[in-house]
Chains A and B, each alone.
Chain A
Amino acid sequence: MQNNRAASKFRTALSKPSALSAPYVGWLAVFVVAPILLVVVYAFSKVPSPVYYLTRETGIVETVTRETVNAELQADDSLIITVTTEDGIAYPESPENAISLLSQDNTVLVVSRADATVVMTVRFEGGGFTFDNFGGVWKSAPVFLRSFWLAFISTVICLVLGYPLAYILARETRGIQRAMNMLIMLPMWMNFLLRTYAWMSILENTGLLNRFLSIFGIAPLHIINTQTAVVIGMVYNFLPFMVLPLYSVIVKIDRHVIEAAQDLGAGAGQVFRRVIFPLSLPGVLSGVTMVFVPAVSTFAISKLLGGGMSNLLGDLIERNFRGNAYNLELGSAIALVMMVVVMVFMYFVNRFGDGTEGAVMM
């Protein structure tokens, strides 16, 4: 009793904000809130588009849209730029008159005409609130469906494979537990890409698996560059995240509780169904969360094992941030929608295990 009182005192002390918590608040602000804030801001911002200002000595005369600017790379690497204004006047009137200078930051072009010098300034102007980006997200609905579907399948497979493993592990002697934990963790200490490359060489049409099968005269399987390969890669990479939380919950189930169930007349199956599984539910929820969430947003796996055929959300976002389709705003909008969908999903998963403590929420 006295211990309890001391413990509760300790908890109240912890629950009070103190000077100690300041660094963590700062940390939260910088590393948690800031990225989310940026994603939200970008997601609702207009995509910057180039605006061209044509200037004479007298000041800005007109702006032109991108469609009317035409740049041609010449054989001698010089650039001939022609601009047509909305009233139909073209600068320069003839290519021979043009002197064009590309300034270093790509924003200022000097366009000359026979009679006058016009400075054209290009500015990428974005900003402003818009929902347009989400229209772009809608176009990638199939990618969303595919990502969530593959993540769902992988999570289910991880649970089906991981639960018995965790259960057996929790019942073993301490030495075996340590050794098996080590084996489960071992791949995680290896580079993620390397692991996935290894699976490439296993699953390839002429890979290890098919060579092994051919020994027994079995026709080669076409796995690489299919969704199956992506699922295999995800299961392989995320299985430890299912096993470890499950294991840590199951291993803590009091032996006496199981004995109590037996004592009250439960056979092995009933003990599992009525006691062990419900008590391990927090572990199941943690495991599902820790597998499903990264699986939804994974990228390299689908690129390497799916051969780019099964484009996933992670790839899409990556391309929008640093690929050909550079578009921070669209990328952010996709990321935001994905986050919301995952949150809704997790909400229902956690509702399912209502009242169980200790589950990793989000």
Chain B
Amino acid sequence: MQNALIRLADCAMAFDGDVVLDNINLEIRDKEFLTLLGPSGCGKTTTLNIIGGFKKPTRGDVFFDGVRINDVPPHKRHVNTVFQKYALFTHLNVYENVAFGLRLVKPKLSEAEIERRVTEMLDVVSLHGFERRDSSSLSGGQQQRVAIARALVLKPRVLLLDEPLGALDLRLRKDMQNELKRIQQAMDITFIYVTHDQEEALAMSDTIVVMDGGAIQQVGSPEDIYNEPQNAFVADFVGESNIVDGTMPQDGVVEFFGRKFKCLDGGFAPNEPVDVVIRPEDVDIVPPGAGVLIGTVTNITFKGVHYDIIVDFHGFKWLIQTTDLSPLGAKIGIKLDPDCIHVMKKSKYSGMFGDYSSYSAEYDDISDVSVGIDEDTDYAE
């Protein structure tokens, strides 16, 4: 690709025989907002550390602007990092934190130049007037902004962000998402963002790289990732999905639960077994008589905007999101439009996700966003 700024070629990483990264090939375009998304231990932070220069891949090459940079130390790369827990210099005030990198620039910058750039950068992150504040006296969101300003003041071509919003509360996290997107556009540089939070990834990114088990599962725009997941892992990790076993008798027709449905996918071998994804919000609830499938409501959770209901179709339970409340135990029918059905090739993840039969346990897992922050960053220790 012509405009790839960073290229990872066959990168692999192992610690003491544990494979953390397995053959990563990735191209990152200039000025894009790219997110590495995946659960703890999926290798996303290791990938970031390889780009940042804090870790060397055991195999494979890293190219920056076409030049191999495997052996270039972190401080000689045109890359700066915003660390997970801010990693501010607590012995310095806000101004000196931001000026830290500028004071190391050779040839030495004049004090006036440093002041101009620090002030400018504090304006960008909306911290005007905080210059003399003690860095440890700031709130989490403010510390995060200092960390961003500190990294951006050096005008890197790429900014790496390692779960920067992980320690903030939900409200602040939403604000900072918009803020980060705005800063990225204002600075007009590449952001590489690591997170396990799919909402964050969908909201901010130009490109999302979904990772699991040290391998890339899918690369694409947020719409691609959400609407056209390539396997059960992606379908389950990004958003929520009901995944059922099916077959493809022919292009545009998929069969599951013993019925044939129209769909928009094709390109499979005749009668090839497939995974069928139906997003909970795509299901239309209709009176039992009018439905293609009829099931029983077994659980209702009020979520504010909608209800999460669990519907039992002959032993297989689906999650359906609806604004119309059907009482517990009611029989309901559902209708599926062709564009609501997404067909995927079978993968090693088939059968592992997308079944709400063991509803409560899995539900707890997926709604607890804060589970497992920072676990994979300490892999090397």
Nearest to B80 among chain A residues (CB) is A263
B176 to chain A, nearest CB (A): 15
B91 to chain A, nearest CB (A): 4
Contact with A along B82-124 (1 / 0, CB 8 A): 0111011111100000001100110000000000000000000
In the complex, chain B residues 35-76 whose Cβ is within 8 Å of any chain A Cβ: 52, 54, 73-75
Q: A279-B90, A281-B91 are in contact. Are A264 and B84 (CB under 8 A)?
A: no
C-alpha spacing A266/B147, complex, angstroms: 16
Nearest to A274 among chain B residues (CB) is B100
Nearest to A275 among chain B residues (CB) is B89
Q: A259-B54, A279-B91, A281-B91 are in contact. Are A264 and B104 (CB under 8 A)?
A: yes
Residues on A with beta carbons closer than 8 Å to the beta carbon of B90: 279
Contact B101 A265 (CB under 8 A): yes
A256 within 8 A of B: yes
A189 to chain B, nearest CB (A): 31
Residues on B with beta carbons closer than 8 Å to the beta carbon of A257: 87-89
A108 to chain B, nearest CB (A): 70
B167 to chain A, nearest CB (A): 10
Contact B89 A261 (CB under 8 A): yes
Residues on A with beta carbons closer than 8 Å to the beta carbon of B147: 260
Nearest to B170 among chain A residues (CB) is A1
Contact B100 A261 (CB under 8 A): yes
Residues on A with beta carbons closer than 8 Å to the beta carbon of B74: 259, 262-263
Residues on B with beta carbons closer than 8 Å to the beta carbon of A256: 83-85, 87
C-alpha spacing A279/B250, complex, angstroms: 67
Q: A279-B91, A281-B91 are in contact. Are A264 and B83 (CB under 8 A)?
A: no
Residues on A with beta carbons closer than 8 Å to the beta carbon of B154: 264-265
Residues on B with beta carbons closer than 8 Å to the beta carbon of A78: none
Contact A264 B75 (CB under 8 A): yes
C-alpha spacing A278/B97, complex, angstroms: 13
Contact B150 A264 (CB under 8 A): yes
C-alpha spacing A278/B80, complex, angstroms: 23
C-alpha spacing A133/B147, complex, angstroms: 59
Contact A263 B151 (CB under 8 A): yes
B169 within 8 A of A: yes
Q: Is the interface of B mostly helix, strand, loop or mixed?
A: loop
Taking residues whose C-beta sits less than 8 angstroms from the other chain, chain B's interface range is 20 to 34
Contact with A along B143-173 (1 / 0, CB 8 A): 0000100110010000000000000010000
C-alpha spacing A275/B91, complex, angstroms: 8
B81 within 8 A of A: yes
Q: A264-B75, A264-B151 are in contact. Are A259 and B83 (CB under 8 A)?
A: yes
Contact A263 B81 (CB under 8 A): yes
Residues on A with beta carbons closer than 8 Å to the beta carbon of B134: 355
Residues on A with beta carbons closer than 8 Å to the beta carbon of B105: 265
Nearest to A254 among chain B residues (CB) is B87
Nearest to A270 among chain B residues (CB) is B104
Nearest to A1 among chain B residues (CB) is B169
C-alpha spacing A260/B169, complex, angstroms: 24
B161 to chain A, nearest CB (A): 12
A356 within 8 A of B: yes
B14 to chain A, nearest CB (A): 19
C-alpha spacing A263/B148, complex, angstroms: 13
A308 within 8 A of B: no
Residues on A with beta carbons closer than 8 Å to the beta carbon of B85: 254, 256
B163 to chain A, nearest CB (A): 12
Contact with B along A36-60 (1 / 0, CB 8 A): 0000000000000000000000000
B354 to chain A, nearest CB (A): 33
Contact B75 A263 (CB under 8 A): yes
Among B73, B83, B85, residue most surrounded by chain A Cβ atoms (within 10 Å): B83
10 new A-B pairs (CB below 8 Å) besides A257-B88, A260-B88, A262-B75? A260-B87, A260-B147, A261-B89, A263-B52, A263-B74, A263-B79, A263-B80, A263-B151, A264-B104, A267-B75
Listed by A's residue number, 19 A-B pairs whose Cβ atoms lie within 8 Å are: A1-B169, A256-B84, A256-B87, A257-B88, A259-B54, A262-B73, A262-B74, A262-B75, A263-B74, A263-B75, A264-B75, A264-B80, A264-B101, A264-B104, A264-B151, A270-B104, A278-B92, A279-B90, A281-B91
Binding site for A on B (CB under 8 A): 52, 54, 73-75, 79-81, 83-85, 87-92, 100-101, 104-105, 134, 147, 150-151, 154, 169
Q: Which 6 residue pairs are nearest across A and B when measured between Cβ atoms?
A: A264-B101, A256-B87, A265-B104, A260-B87, A278-B91, A265-B75
